[in-house]
């Protein structure tokens, strides 16, 4: 695993990983705690006010025993990590496939990890296409989503 700590032991904002510096098998990860604000904002952003997301009383009467996050929210949390890891080296996000395995609720802490499974050199862009496999787990270790992604990454 790559450690970006500086000499003071803190994690500064770092430049994105360059294609040439990536290794097949490399893993990167991050965590975020989902809040009530995330759920409310997601309802508006996705224009999805289904009572599973917006009505606590309704949600409590379902198998979920409360409101759940939108699937695209979990997908976006996973995609966001890719954007952050390749801060200024990502040229294009080419594809992302996510399979949802369990519900996510406000209060859950999600940890997303991605592994580089393949690299495809592209001379024309001074970089290449990176193939990733990922998972997102909650604080109990339950897999809430599995993903695959491809991104075009440069060396600049």
Q: How far is CA 34 from the centre of its chain?
A: 13
**pLDDT surpasses 70 at 35:** yes
**Contact present, 149 and 79 (Cβ < 8 Å):** yes
How high is the pLDDT of residue 77? 97
User: Which pair of tokens denotes residue 127?
Assistant: 């970089």
Mean pLDDT of 35-59: 95
CATH 3.40.190.80 at 19-34+69-154, yes or no: no
How high is the pLDDT of residue 88? 85
Contacts of 60 (CB under 8 A, 6+ apart): 66
How high is the pLDDT of residue 12? 47
59-96 pLDDT, tens digit per residue, is 999 999 999 999 999 999 999 999 999 988 999 999 99
Mean pLDDT of 119-136: 97
Most confident of 1-5, 28-32, 148-152: 148-152
């Amino acid at each position: 695993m790559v450690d970006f700590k500086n000499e003071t032991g803190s994690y500064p904002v770092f430049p994105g990983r360059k294609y040439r510096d990536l290794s097949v098998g490399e893993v990167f990860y991050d965590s975020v705690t989902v809040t009530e604000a995330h759920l409310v904002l997601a309802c508006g952003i996705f224009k999805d006010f289904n009572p599973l997301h917006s009505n606590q009383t309704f949600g409590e009467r379902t198998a979920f025993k409360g409101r759940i996050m939108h699937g695209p929210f979990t997908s976006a949390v996973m995609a966001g990590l890719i954007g952050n890891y390749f801060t200024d080296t990502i040229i294009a996000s080419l594809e992302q496939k996510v399979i949802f395995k369990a519900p996510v609720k406000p209060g859950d802490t999600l940890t997303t990890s991605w592994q580089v499974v393949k690299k495809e050199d592209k001379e024309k862009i001074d970089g290449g296409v990176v193939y990733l496999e990922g998972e997102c787990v909650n604080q109990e270790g339950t897999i809430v989503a599995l993903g695959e992604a491809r991104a075009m990454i440069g060396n600049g």
